[in-house]
Chain A
Amino acid sequence: MTRLWAWGAFLIGAVFFALPLIGMTEFSLKMRRGVYSLDAYVKVLADPHFQQTFGYSTLMALFTIVFGVLLVVPTAYWVRLKLPRVRPFIEFITLLPLVIPAIVIVFGYIRLYNTSSWLPLTGTAMGTNILLMFGYATLSLPYMYRSVDTGLRTIDVATLTEAAQSLGAGWATILGKIILPNVLVAVLSGAFLTFAIVIGEFTMAALLDRPAFGPYLQVLGANRAYEPAALAVISFAITWACMGLIQLVTRFSKFTEAQR
């Protein structure tokens, strides 16, 4: 009887989750009257604005990931190695982007870095891009930090560091050749999550007026019928592909066993 209830709950959940997706996918295939077709997808993919905004967001995601890795890996490593007492404090800081809305952060940025400020980043396109990248890095911080910190927990950071030091390695070698490769799966998990966040982010890109994929989605959604549904399906596919890749790198890591 209990089992039946459990299956019932599972089915309701699955229907609640899957039905809108199925409906949306079905709608996206109905652009040509009376038959299913991929017309909406062809139209979207052929749209130069799609290519431009998707390319821009992908590039921004890559820069955000690189910046995030360079910021988070050494920080999480150092906190684990030398400052375990400040770990709760660092965890609290990394959680702040979850409770501070993106709109507040971006207004803060605009106020701090406007053209009349001491660092007028919003005065140029490049400056605004950099600002947006910092914003994305902030938004993805909770996920990136947690992924890396969990990865670091699976290895004996202190002993590996000391072993490398006794063999003559400096900090850069230790981080680059020992720590980073051993938490690479965790870093990739964080990277894929960052990618998914950046691709779908709207608020920051719109308020900083950058040609990102999120604002393009919104504009298209306001003016077209079938294309937004096709775009939403594409976005889902990208996010799910990221999730799948996380699973894949975890499963096929050559030395996963050793990390346990």
Chain B
Amino acid sequence: MAFLEIEHLEKSFGPTRVVKDFSLDIDKGEFVSLLGPSGCGKTTVLRMVAGFETPTSGAIRIDGKDMVHLRPNQRKIGMMFQAYALFPNLTVAQNVGFGLKVEGVDKAEINKRVEEMLGLIGLPELGSRYPFQLSGGQQQRVALARALAVRPRVLLLDEPLSALDAKIRVSLREEMRSIQKALGITAIFVTHDQEEALSMSDRVVVMHQGIADQIGTPFDIYNRPKTRFVAQFVGTLSILKATVIDPAKGEVDVAGAKVSGLDLPSGMAKGSALTLALRPEAVSLKGERGDVKMAGTIADVDFLGSVLRIKVTANDTTIAFDTFNDPSSPPPRIGDKATISFSKDSLLVLKD
């Protein structure tokens, strides 16, 4: 039995169904991200777990105990918000100790725990400051300490890094992940940033229109997307139109090149159209690697510093790929002839 079970969760606001038959099992100590675009229902799922929204139907259990009928303040679930949500009238130490005070823990124990938590987030000297005297990153660290101080059963993170600038975001996400691992706390992280989801999570749930499109490890989600939406939303890729030549052999025609041995969806007939996808890192210029070769023309070159993003057009199909910058050779020019290559194993067959 999983530690946190979400079964057939549904939520409608009036006639609009925002979460549809959402099920997810999370083990103790696991870090799971809900990833998806705005309006996909990820925050609604999180808010239902927290108790701020009541599900239209379905069950939420923690350690086998039903949560749906408990009020938010009875669930013992910690939460971090995008807007930090520190109490402006309380000092950092009072903020961190707030939950313990509500619990009725004695003062000496609260002070000890607050000190421990401020040490954990690396801000032991800021206990007497007010939230407005802290930077955004510091405020979010304090919010983490406050959420953890009460030893919650589950930690919910509602886009906690979105309001921070890029550098702080990266350092804080590493810190949050290491604290979560060290404490072994079960966490659900909501984000629309794929990099955050992939880098922090044990598993990622990609959500689309209220449905969990795919649940898997970051490696699986990135390398073996099950739907076109997942493939397009997670990472960048080139979409290739293909035509089935021989369904039995898994042979298709992609932009004039024959590729065989693909694992085609069942029921595909000869001549039927198929959508394939290719990650930019799977392609190499000058035919250096892979068994599929295509001749084309350089359509665009973006210099991104350490990396060059190049687009090659071959038979009306545009394939984008990345290659490392080589200071000893200049980047190709638009209009140059080029041969690209990739392994047929890196072609993703997309289902709609």
Contact = CB atoms under 8 A, between A and B. Distances in A.
Interface of A: 155-156, 159-160, 162-170, 173, 177-178, 181-182, 184, 254-255, 257-259
10 contacts: A155-B88, A159-B81, A162-B72, A164-B87, A165-B51, A165-B73, A166-B79, A169-B99, A173-B102, A178-B89
The 7 closest A-B pairs by CB, nearest first: A258-B88, A167-B99, A258-B132, A163-B85, A257-B132, A166-B79, A165-B72
A164 B152 CA distance: 14
Given A156-B85, A255-B131, A258-B89, 14 more contacts: A159-B83, A162-B52, A162-B81, A163-B79, A164-B87, A166-B73, A167-B146, A169-B102, A182-B87, A184-B89, A257-B133, A258-B130, A258-B131, A259-B88
Contacts of A184: 89
A163 B87 contact: yes
Nearest to B134: A258
The listed residue with most A CB atoms (<10 A of its CB), out of B89, B103, B152, is B89
B252 interface: no
Interface in B122-146: 130-133, 143, 146
Nearest to B88: A258
Contacts of B51: 165
B205 interface: no
Contacts of B89: 178, 181-182, 184, 254-255, 258
B180 to A, nearest CB: 17
B77 interface: yes
A166 B132 contact: no
Nearest to A178: B87
Contacts of A255: 88-89, 130-132
A168 B156 CA distance: 15
A156 B83 contact: yes
A12 B85 CA distance: 49
Contacts of A155: 88
B244 interface: no
Nearest to A167: B99
